[in-house]
Chains A and B, each alone.
Chain A
Amino acid sequence: MTSASEHLDPALRVEALASLLIERGLLDEATIETFVKTYEQSVGPMNGAKVVAKAWTDPEYRTRLLADGTAAIGEVGFKGPQGEHIVVVENTPAVHHVVVCTLCSCYPWPVLGLPPAWYKDPAYRSRVVREPRQVLREFGLDLGDGVEIRVHDSSSEVRYMVLPERPVGTEDYSEAELAALVTRDAMVGVAQAAAP
Chain B
Amino acid sequence: MSHPGGRADASYLLDSAGPAAPPRDNGELVFAAPWESQAFGVALALHDAGRIDWEDFRRSLIREIGDWEAAHPSGEGWNYYECWLRSLERLVSGTGLVADDDLRARRAELATRPAGHDHRYDHEE
B76-114 at interface with A (beta carbon < 8 Å): 78, 80-82, 85-86, 88-90, 92-93, 97-98, 100, 102-104, 106-107, 110-111
- Is the beta-carbon distance between A5 and B107 smaller than 8 angstroms? yes
Once A10-B39, A121-B1 are accepted as A-B contacts, the answer to whether A1 and B89 lie under 8 Å apart by CB is yes
- Is the beta-carbon distance between B35 and A20 smaller than 8 angstroms? no
- Is the beta-carbon distance between B98 and A36 smaller than 8 angstroms? no
Assembled-state Cα–Cα distance A45/B30 (Å): 12
Contacts of A21 in B (CB 8 A): 42, 46, 92, 97-98
- Is the beta-carbon distance between B47 and A81 smaller than 8 angstroms? yes
* Min C-beta distance of A119 to chain B, whole Å: 8
- Is the beta-carbon distance between B37 and A183 smaller than 8 angstroms? no
Interface size class of A (residues with CB under 8 A): 35 or more
* Min C-beta distance of A176 to chain B, whole Å: 5
Contacts of A34 in B (CB 8 A): 45
**Contact mask B1-40 → A, CB, 8 Å, 1/0?**
1111111000011001111111110101011111111111
Assembled-state Cα–Cα distance A138/B3 (Å): 10
Q: Is A16 an interface residue (CB 8 A)?
A: yes
- Is the beta-carbon distance between A26 and B51 smaller than 8 angstroms? yes
Assembled-state Cα–Cα distance A85/B45 (Å): 21
A31-50 at interface with B (beta carbon < 8 Å): 31-36, 39-46, 49-50
- Is the beta-carbon distance between B119 and A32 smaller than 8 angstroms? no
Q: Is A94 an interface residue (CB 8 A)?
A: no
Residue of B nearest to A53 (CB): B19
Q: Is A116 an interface residue (CB 8 A)?
A: yes
Contacts of B119 in A (CB 8 A): 9, 11-12, 15
Contacts of B4 in A (CB 8 A): 118, 135, 138-139
- Is the beta-carbon distance between B38 and A36 smaller than 8 angstroms? yes
Residue of A nearest to B94 (CB): A1
- Is the beta-carbon distance between B106 and A117 smaller than 8 angstroms? no
Q: Is A147 an interface residue (CB 8 A)?
A: no
Contacts of A50 in B (CB 8 A): 19
Contacts of A8 in B (CB 8 A): 107, 111
Q: Is A172 an interface residue (CB 8 A)?
A: no
- Is the beta-carbon distance between A127 and B1 smaller than 8 angstroms? yes
- Is the beta-carbon distance between A10 and B35 smaller than 8 angstroms? yes
* Min C-beta distance of B41 to chain A, whole Å: 4
Once A10-B81, A44-B22 are accepted as A-B contacts, the answer to whether A194 and B13 lie under 8 Å apart by CB is yes
Partner of A104, one of B3, B39, B61, B98: B61
Q: Is A27 an interface residue (CB 8 A)?
A: yes
B residues with a Cβ closer than 8 A to A are 1-7, 12-13, 16-24, 26, 28, 30-42, 44-49, 51, 54-55, 58, 61-62, 65-66, 69, 75, 78, 80-82, 85-86, 88-90, 92-93, 97-98, 100, 102-104, 106-107, 110-111, 118-122
